[in-house]
Structure formats: C-alpha cells, structure tokens
C-alpha cells in the first residue's frame, strides 16, 4: 500500500488561490442567494436532501469502503460500523423525525399573557460551514451535514485534504445527490481554509485539533459567528485492582487499536497500580494476538497511520518509557504495531500530547484518589473511562472529574447512540451533536410571542405613570414562573 504526505489536495477549480481573486466569492454568493430565496426551508426540500444523502451512501458503499481502505487501511467491518452504517442511521433517524423536530415548541405563559401565543421556532441559521478531520472522513463530514440539511441551511463542506481518497468521493460524487444551488464542497488545506474562514458564515461546525479550533474560533469571532468545536485531547482510562484483567484488556485494546488508534474518543492512557499493570500486560498481549495474529502487520483488521507526518510523530513517541508490547514499525507501510508502554514519566511527550495512534502508555497510580488528582490537574478530556467491579469507584470517578463523555467498564460505544450527544468540555470542545442534537445545533431557537392587536385595556397596567398598585397587580399576574420583565 502506498501512503502519501498530507496537503496535496484534489484541485477544486472554483477554489484555486489566484492572486487578488477571491476563489470562494461566487460559490458563497450563490449559496446565500439560494438561502434568501427560502427554498431550503420547507420540510419537503429538507427531506429530499436527506433522501439524496441516504442514496449517496447506499449507491456508493463500495466506493466509500475502497476510499477508506486507501486512506487508512480501514477494514470493511470498521468502515461499516463507524462510518457508513452510522451515517445511514443518522439519515434515517432525521427523516423519521424531521416533522416533529421542525414543529414549534410551545412556551407556557402567565395570567397577563393568557391571550398571547408563545413558542420556540426552529429556524435555519443560513449559510453554514462544516470543517472535518481525516480520521473518520465519512462520518465526521456527513453526520454534521445530516443536521445542517435537516435544519434547512445551505452548506459549505470542507473535508480533510489529508484523507485524499475519501475527499475525492465527497467532492466528486456527493454533490450529484444534493441540490447544488444550496450545497458546495470546498477543497484545500490550512491556507485555503484560512482564506475561506475570512468570509462570514452564519454557523461554523469544526471537528479537529484544539490548535486549529482556536484558529477557527478566532476567525469566527471577527463576524460574531457561533461555533461548535469538536476537539481532541488525552482521554484517561482508570483500571482498579478489582477488575478481571482479561476483560479490561479486551475492551481497552479494542477501543485503543480500532482505526489504528486514530480516534478522538479512544482511551489515550491507562492509570493503574503496579500490581494491576503486572496482571494487565499478559492479558493485553494475549488480546492483541487474538485480535491481530502473531504478525499484526499482515492482519486485514488493523488500520494504518494516515501519512508519513503522523507516522514520524508516532514513531518518536515509541521512545518514551519502555516498550512492553509491540513497538515495531514500518515506514514504507505507515505501520505501527499495537503497542503498550510502561515506566512512562508524566513529563514525556507521550503524556503531553494526544497520542492518536496505536500506542497505549500505562502510568502507575496508587489509588483512585491519586488517579482523580492526576486527571484533574490536566485539561478536561473528551472522554473518560473507569474500570472497576465496584460501582462506588466508577461513581467516584464520574462525580469528581469532568469530561465530554464518560463510560464505566466499557469504551466509546455511546458515540454510536442517537439518543445522547457527543461533545467536549473546556479544552476538548464546545457544543454537541448526534441525532436531534445535531438538528438543534444547526437551528436558531427563536423565541416568538404573538399578541392580539386589540385588547389594549388589558395591557395598560404596565405603562407609566407607575404606581405601587400596578406593580403589585403585575407581580401577581406574572406569577412565580416568570422572571422580572427584563
């Protein structure tokens, strides 16, 4: 398999940076005009776009699987469960619930407003921008798109330039399934995306690193554009002494080595006692052999590192602590073996940066208190995992820490559910999506009050000249459910 360096994007004729000419202007103007026409607002239009997206997934499943295999050596199994089927489920769920989600939500009123109608209208923001990373290049582009279309927006999609196979399918095939007056794919790397971000959007949904998240938020601030930032970080995984090591090894290894560790919610490092480490190491070795065979490089089930740049970064991390399991690498194949590191110092790079690869360091702690203290002196992670036979220990971890998501005795399967959101907190991001949360993210919740044009006598109590009597009457009429007038 040949791997390529990042940044060599498929050329978008409309997006070539030409001196003095804004490559995005025409596209953005077209989309704005389309939004102004009101075309995207009807339920029928939104449903037609979602159906188009569903057809794209069904009719191009093999193409997408091939692209994911080309980009990440992703197995068809992993491609299906984490990218194609997940996205299809989101489409089907949005289609099923669209009418209900779009409905106005009534607000309760008080005595003085009994004849008024108060409700929340979910209206589209307008022109929204979705910027995606390379690690789940179908899912992380299209799942936000489901909500953006369902909410009635016009959309600019910016896939990652690094996952080139998938980028090409998204750029060349997807637009055929959607109304192109309301939807565009823009290609490019940091420079082009920087240029794109100079434009005003009505909402920006960004998935990627905290470093670029700051760039996006700074650009958005210039236009007061609201943002969702789905970022990354180091996700701790605490394992206490009561656990069955083989069960923990199976669960942690699957979530760590899935997609060759290039998962934002993967357990990034294990915190456990030296005694548990001794029991966990043979269990992890046995799991890795069972999952990927004696020679994981020849396993069809293990992914590859996306490119040379990421490979070099990860290979350097293999020098931290001591290699207890794995540690082999092959530059020509962007291959890094499923690896476990021990004797790792907190100050070493592998404990300073998000690993984002198939490397699992184990850091020793003496107690759950020490683990909590370790976690809490770092940035808030996107996910946190606690393994213990004691629900008290799991609850302690949940109560005394903060993270985007949490799982006790399992990994990140909760991200596949439509009923709960995915999102970070603090350094791991802001905002949330999946299922209805995506629709809500891309909808402005507009509070509306419709009062009768007559009946002025009833309203007069609020006008000057103010009197104590009027104030008392107003307070009584507004009742305990209201806050003050302003």
Rounded-to-integer distance, Cα 250 and Cα 239, Å = 13
- Helix 210-222 vs helix 190-197: angle between axes, to the nearest 10 degrees? 30
CB of 60 to ligand NAD, least distance (A): 21
Binding mask 200-219 for ligand NAD (x = CB under 6 A): -------xxx--x--x----
CB of 439 to ligand NAD, least distance (A): 17
CB of 142 to ligand NAD, least distance (A): 13
Which tokens sit at 173? 């095939």
Rounded-to-integer distance, Cα 435 and Cα 418, Å = 5
User: Which of 27, 135, 277, 287 lies at the binding interface for ligand NAD (CB under 6 A)?
Assistant: 135
Catalytic residue, candidates 83, 167, 192, 230: 230
The span of 22-30, 228-236, 297-305, 478-486 binding ligand NAD (CB under 6 A) equals 228-236
Q: Is 189 in the site for ligand NAD (CB under 6 A)?
A: yes
Closer residue to ligand NAD (CB): 202 or 354: 354
CB of 77 to ligand NAD, least distance (A): 20
Q: Is 143 in the site for ligand NAD (CB under 6 A)?
A: no
Catalytic residue status for 399: no
Q: Contact at 8 Å (CB) between 452 and 115?
A: yes
- 433, exposed or middle or buried, with CB in 10 Å at 0-12, 13-18, 19+? buried
User: Which of 72, 79, 231, 253 lies at the binding interface for ligand NAD (CB under 6 A)?
Assistant: 231
Q: Length of the chain, please?
A: 486
Give rounded-to-5 percent helix, strand, coil for the chain. Answer: 45, 15, 35
Rounded-to-integer distance, Cα 140 and Cα 160, Å = 10
Q: Is 230 in the site for ligand NAD (CB under 6 A)?
A: yes
CB of 425 to ligand NAD, least distance (A): 11
Angle at 342 between CA 398 and CA 322, to 5 degrees: 155
- Tell which residue, 174, 188, 102, has the closest CA to residue 145: 174
Based on DSSP, count helices (H) and strands (E) in the chain, helices before strands. 17, 18
Closer residue to ligand NAD (CB): 303 or 429: 429
Binding mask 250-269 for ligand NAD (x = CB under 6 A): --------------x-----
CB of 68 to ligand NAD, least distance (A): 14
Catalytic residue, candidates 182, 237, 264, 334: 264
Rounded-to-integer distance, Cα 118 and Cα 451, Å = 9
Closer residue to ligand NAD (CB): 175 or 189: 189
3-state secondary structure of 107: coil
Q: Cβ-closest residue to ligand NAD?
A: 232
Rounded-to-integer distance, Cα 37 and Cα 96, Å = 26
What would the DSSP string read from start to end of 5-59?
-TT-PPP-GGG--BTTB-TTHHHHHHHHHHHHTTGGGSHHHHHHHHHHHHHHHHH
CB of 288 to ligand NAD, least distance (A): 23
Which tokens sit at 80? 């299906």
Closer residue to ligand NAD (CB): 90 or 161: 161
The span of 230-238, 244-252, 446-454, 456-464 binding ligand NAD (CB under 6 A) equals 230-238
Q: Is 397 in the site for ligand NAD (CB under 6 A)?
A: no
CB of 402 to ligand NAD, least distance (A): 16
The span of 35-43, 130-138, 277-285, 340-348 binding ligand NAD (CB under 6 A) equals 130-138
Closer residue to ligand NAD (CB): 40 or 235: 235
User: Which of 160, 166, 259, 329 lies at the binding interface for ligand NAD (CB under 6 A)?
Assistant: 160
Rounded-to-integer distance, Cα 234 and Cα 62, Å = 33
Closer residue to ligand NAD (CB): 276 or 383: 383
Catalytic residue status for 192: no
Total of residues contacting ligand NAD (CB under 6 A): 28
CB of 6 to ligand NAD, least distance (A): 8
User: Which of 98, 128, 132, 372 lies at the binding interface for ligand NAD (CB under 6 A)?
Assistant: 132
Contacts of 340 (CB under 8 A, 6+ apart): 281, 284, 323, 324, 325, 326, 359, 360, 361, 362
Which contiguous run of DSSP H or E holds residue 430? strand 429-430
Q: Contact at 8 Å (CB) between 335 and 304?
A: yes
User: Which of 52, 126, 133, 358 lies at the binding interface for ligand NAD (CB under 6 A)?
Assistant: 133
Active site residues: 230, 264
The residue ranges that bind ligand NAD (CB under 6 A) are 131-135, 140, 158, 160-161, 189-190, 193-194, 207-209, 212, 215, 230-232, 264, 354, 356, 382, 422, 424, 429
């Amino acid at each position: 398999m040949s791997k390529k360096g990042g940044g060599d994007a498929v050329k978008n004729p409309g997006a070539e940076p030409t001196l003095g000419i804004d490559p995005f202007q025409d596209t953005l103007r077209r989309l704005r005009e389309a939004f102004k026409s009101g075309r995207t607002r009807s339920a029928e239009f939104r449903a037609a776009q979602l159906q188009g997206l569903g057809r794209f997934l069904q009719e191009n499943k093999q193409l997408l699987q091939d692209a994911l295999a080309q980009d990440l050596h992703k197995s068809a199994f992993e491609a299906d469960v984490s990218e194609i089927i997940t996205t299809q489920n989101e489409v089907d769920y949005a289609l099923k619930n669209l009418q209900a989600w779009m409905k106005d939500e009534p607000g309760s009123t008080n005595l003085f407003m009994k004849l008024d109608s108060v409700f929340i209208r979910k209206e589209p923001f307008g022109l929204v921008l979705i910027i995606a990373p390379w690690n789940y290049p179908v899912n992380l582009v299209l799942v936000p798109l489901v909500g953006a279309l369902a909410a009635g927006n016009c959309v600019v999609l910016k896939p990652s330039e690094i996952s080139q196979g998938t980028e090409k399918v998204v750029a060349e095939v997807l637009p055929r399934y959607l109304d192109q007056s309301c939807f565009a794919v823009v290609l490019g790397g940091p420079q082009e995306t920087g240029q794109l971000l100079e434009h005003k959007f009505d909402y920006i949904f960004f998935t990627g690193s905290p470093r670029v998240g700051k760039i996006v938020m700074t650009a958005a601030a210039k236009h007061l554009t609201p943002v969702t930032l789905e970022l990354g970080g180091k996700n701790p995984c605490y394992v206490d002494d009561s656990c069955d090591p083989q069960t923990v090894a199976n669960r942690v290894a699957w979530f760590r080595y899935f997609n060759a560790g290039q998962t934002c919610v993967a357990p990034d490092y294990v915190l456990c006692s030296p005694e548990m480490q001794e029991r966990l190491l043979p269990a992890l070795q046995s799991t890795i052999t069972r999952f990927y065979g004696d020679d994981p490089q020849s396993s069809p089930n293990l992914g590859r590192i996306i490119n040379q740049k990421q490979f070099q970064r990860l290979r350097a991390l293999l020098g931290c602590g001591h290699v207890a399991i794995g540690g082999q690498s092959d530059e020509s194949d962007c291959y890094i073996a499923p690896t476990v590191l021990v004797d790792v110092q907190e100050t070493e790079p592998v404990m300073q940066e998000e690993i984002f690869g198939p490397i699992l360091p184990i850091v020793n702690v003496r107690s759950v208190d020490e683990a909590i203290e370790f976690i809490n002196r770092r940035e808030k992670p996107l996910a946190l995992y606690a393994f213990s036979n004691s629900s008290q220990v799991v609850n302690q971890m949940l109560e005394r820490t903060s993270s985007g998501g949490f799982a006790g005795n399992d990994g990140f399967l909760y991200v596949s559910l439509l009923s709960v959101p995915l999102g970070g907190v603090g350094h791991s991001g802001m905002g949330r999506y999946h299922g209805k949360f995506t629709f809500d993210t891309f909808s402005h919740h507009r509070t509306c009050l419709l009062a009768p044009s007559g009946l002025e006598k009833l309203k007069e109590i609020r006008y000057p000249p103010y009197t104590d009597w009027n104030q008392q009457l107003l307070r009584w009429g507004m009742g305990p459910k209201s806050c003050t007038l302003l």
